[in-house]
A and B are shown apart, each in its own frame.
Chain A
Amino acid sequence: MIRQILNFTLLFLFLIAIQVLVLNNIQLGGYLNPYLYIMFILALPFNTPKWLLLILAFALGIGVDLFSSTMGMHTMSLVFMAFLRPSVLKVIAPRDGYDTNQTPGIQDFDFRWYLIYVSILTFAHHFVLFYIEVFRFSDFFFTFSKVIVSSLFTILLLLISQLFNYNAQVKR
């Protein structure tokens, strides 16, 4: 338990650093803005209390906002995503439910389950984020294309990062 808390604290700091120092500088044609930090909320264990989920999302959002001078934007979209997470998990739950010792990742579930889980939440997060950023609905489809392209890139990064802790021998 203590080890888990320590791990997630390190992940929290690491994701803010990666987002601020590396990913915020990726600017391909004004379309591609990957936001990998949402991985933190996606990776939290299933038995995380709902209120803790929101608080962690709020803290992480503020952290990223502080360093991007976009006060409130990331906080809003990440809290929204954390709010959706329990319902999404309920909808796509496997027939016999979740085990408490399982974590949401391709280690414990098949690739298809993980892709659906990640896609829905990433899209929701990016959708809110990009529309709050422009703060208007003119140019709807231009913003929408930004949402789509950036979501695809973020999902790709999330899948790649999954491979880091994937261990074929211990497949449950």
Chain B
Amino acid sequence: MRNLLGFLSRNSFFLFFLLLEGFAVLLLIQNNRFQRSEFINSSNSASGSFYQMVNNATKYFDLVYINNQLSNENAQLRNHLTTSKIEIFGKNFIINDTIYQQSYTFTEATIINNTVNKANNYITLNKGTLAGVKEGMGVIGPQGIIGIVKTVSTRFSSVMSVLHTQSIISAKLKDQRHFGSLVWDSKDYQYGQLIDIPKHVQIMLGDTIVSSGFSSIFPTGISLATITEIEKPEGNNFYNITVKFINDFKKIEKVYVVKNVLRTEQDKLEEQMEGDKDD
């Protein structure tokens, strides 16, 4: 017993170090499983409102850029209005609204904290459960996908950015319709990787890739990135493709949170299939 006490008192500094370090590791592991407790991440109300304050002061600096971005988007949307189209078939137009059912709804939100230089980047938004934001919803910017909502508090939400080592976005080639996955290797925030595209597909530099819509998180056909580098590795049936994001992740401010109205129905059906396979 005395030996044990002697050992403890001799190594007390080292043991205390191990204790604190162990506690830090615990925090880290919890954080890595994305189960961060409410009060300890950046969507907690203390640091959330702090960042809101900082953002209130700094948002004026980017106004010109954001105005341009928004007016570009307006112009794009205006192109889709019926008033900017001419009738090709004269008066023989049949409009039947029962064909289209609303599938995705969008909520506007503002980014109040953002990083791009970490290996795992998170974005904080100023909308939370009060605005109808829930875990697992997608977030899109003016030009492409931003990420997926990970944790929500009443007035803020924390988004796992596309610039995250564990982010996988289902994507397809705009013209060919072959689908793969868009991932990020944590090196340059402007470039991502498109994987799982088989070698027999004809692709070209500059081709656009868009969201596939398979994941039921994002609508189909949102432009994501353009191909900047193609490699054909030996002994492998797939390309190594480097793509450049259309979004400039450093400059986004206004985003939209996407809600898929039909998601529960799709997930339920797919779960049923998974269940059948297990039996």
> What is the chain A residue whose CB lies nearest that of B30?
A71
- Contact indicator A30/B17 (Cβ below 8 Å): no
Q: A29-81: which have CB < 8 Å to B?
A: 29-30, 33, 50-51, 54-55, 57-58, 61, 65-73, 75-76, 79-80
Q: Quick one: which of B24, B32, B165 contacts A75, CB cutoff 8 A?
A: B24
* B21–A51 CB distance below 8 A: no
Complex Cα–Cα for A139 and B165 (A): 13
Is the CB–CB distance between B42 and A67 below 8 Å? yes
Binds A, one of B68-76, B114-122, B200-208: B114-122
Report chain B residues within 8 Å CB of A65: 27
What's the nearest-Cβ distance from chain A to residue B240, in Å?
15
B123 smallest CB distance to A (angstroms): 10
**Inter-chain contacts of B40 with A (CB < 8 A):** 66, 71
Contact B116 A54 (CB under 8 A): no
Tell me, yes or no, whether A21 is within 8 Å of chain B by CB. yes
Main secondary structure of the interface of A (DSSP, over half): helix
- Contact indicator B24/A79 (Cβ below 8 Å): yes
Q: In whole angstroms, how far apart are the Cα atoms of A68 and B47 in the complex?
A: 10
Give the size of the chain A interface in residues (CB under 8 angstroms): 34
Contact pattern, A 123-135, Cβ under 8 Å of B = 1, otherwise 0? 0000000001111
Choose among B21, B47, B158, B165 the residue with the greatest number of A CB atoms under 10 Å from its CB: B21
Does the CB pair B117–A30 fall under 8 Å?
yes
Please pick, from B28, B30, B42, B117, the residue contacting A69 in the complex, using a CB distance under 8 A.
Answer: B42
Partner of A76, one of B28, B32, B47, B122: B28
CB distance from A49 to the nearest CB of B (A): 10
Partner of B28, one of A33, A51, A72: A72
- Chain B's closest residue to A77 (CB) is B24
Which single member of B25, B124, B187 contacts A72 (CB below 8 Å)?
A: B25
Judge whether B16 is part of the interface by a CB distance below 8 angstroms. yes
- B47 with A66: CB separation less than 8 A: yes
**Please, how many residues of chain B have a CB less than 8 angstroms from a CB on the other chain?**
41
Q: Is B94 an interface residue (CB 8 A)?
A: no
What A residues does B27 contact at CB under 8 A? Answer: 65, 71-72, 75
Residues of A within 8 A of B122 (CB): 69
Query: How far apart sit A135 and B250, CA to CA, in the bound complex (Å)?
Result: 24
Query: A61's closest neighbor in chain B, by CB?
Result: B24
B31 touches A27 (CB 8 A): no
A66 contact set on B, CB distance < 8 A: 40, 42, 47
In the complex, the answer to whether B165 meets A30 with C-beta atoms within 8 Å is no
The docked-state distance in angstroms from the alpha carbon of A158 to that of B188 is 27
Counting CB contacts under 8 A, is B189 at the interface? yes
Chain A residues closer than 8 Å to B115, beta-carbon distance:
24, 27, 68
User: A interface vs B, CB < 8 Å?
Assistant: 21, 24, 27, 29-30, 33, 50-51, 54-55, 57-58, 61, 65-73, 75-76, 79-80, 83, 86, 132-135, 139, 142
Given contacts A72-B30, A135-B32, could you give 19 more A-B pairs where the C-beta distance is less than 8 Å? Answer: A21-B54, A27-B117, A30-B188, A51-B13, A67-B42, A68-B42, A68-B115, A70-B118, A71-B31, A71-B36, A72-B29, A72-B31, A79-B21, A83-B14, A83-B21, A133-B119, A133-B120, A134-B119, A135-B119
Q: List 5 A-B contacts (CB under 8 A).
A: A54-B17, A69-B158, A71-B27, A71-B36, A79-B21
